[in-house]
Amino acid sequence: MSSSVLFDAPGPRGRRRQAAGNVVGALVVVALLAWVAFVLYDRGQFSAALWGPALDARAWQFYYVPGLVNTLRAAAFATVGAVVFGLVFGMGRLSHLRPVRWVSSVVVEFFRAVPVLLMMVFFNALFGFFLEGLVAEPAFAAVVVALVLYNGSVIAELVRSGVNNLPKGQGEAGLSIGLTQGQTLRSVQLPQALIAMLPALVSQLVVVLKDSALGQLIAYAELLRSAQVLQAGSGNPLQTLFVAAVLFIALNWVLSGVAHLLARRLSSRTSGTTDEGPGIGPGPVAGAGIGQT
């Protein structure tokens, strides 16, 4: 009997059709890649004169590495700020005080609705013109603030949904031992919700890293902006942007791997598997049978 609820396992004919479809799909993809490669080769895009400036030591020293450092710097500051923002306003949305809950909801919903790029442009103008001289790096500050506000709002919603998805008995247990609603939220519910939403939280950090590339539109010297400056002087946009794309893919692959690793570890912990083997738990409580006849 199939373990799937919605679909039955395919029979021999269905498996043959699936295998044939996979083969046909793979052939189509290979054919498209071969056609693209032929067109690029025919137009001289594989020549050493174009790939050399995109891969030499000068490109890495003055463009890729500084751009990568700026990308990671913005992502690191934005990550810390977004987590703090999300915890504060996520708990605010769960507060038993109606004014706190209302203000937190308005802030979260507002910054979730505003596009990140629009916030970057706004804060860049604010820091660069209206507050000129007060902010050392207006573009960097604009990128970080925009990423904090948007991704912090998403994390706040993760906190709220994570706490609401906990069994109601968790909150009732905290109240039954004399904790206030705020203490129950901070000491009992929030730690469990953070553990449950940790994989989703790490996945959101991947979004922070990718959205930092939007900073190139306000002249922040992150990885994509550095690649664009390099190709403007070398005349090889395809090659330099390809290298930048590979670096972004590598970074996101590492973060995605961390998210999957955390998900597996948390799944193994919550499924009752221990180092002593699955299904092995504590023995019966001492004295459980005393007084029975």
Contact between 40 and 46 under an 8 Å Cβ cutoff? The reply is yes
Q: Which residues contact 108 (CB under 8 A, 6 or more apart)?
A: 89, 90, 93, 153, 156, 157
CA quadruple 80, 83, 87, 88: dihedral, nearest 10? 50
pTM of the shown model: 0.76
Position 149 scores a pLDDT of 96
Report the topology of domain 50-270. MetI-like fold (1.10.3720)
Q: Per residue of the chain (293 residues), give pLDDT as tens.
A: 444 444 567 778 888 888 889 999 999 999 999 999 999 888 888 888 889 889 999 999 999 999 999 999 999 999 999 999 998 998 888 888 889 989 999 999 999 999 999 999 999 999 988 777 788 889 999 999 999 999 999 999 888 887 777 777 666 677 677 676 667 776 677 777 777 777 777 778 888 988 999 999 998 999 999 999 999 888 888 999 999 999 999 988 888 787 777 767 766 665 554 444 444 444 444 344 434 43
pLDDT in tens, 164-218: 777 776 666 776 776 766 677 766 777 777 777 777 777 788 889 889 999 999 9
Whole-angstrom distance, CA of residue 53 vs CA of residue 57: 9
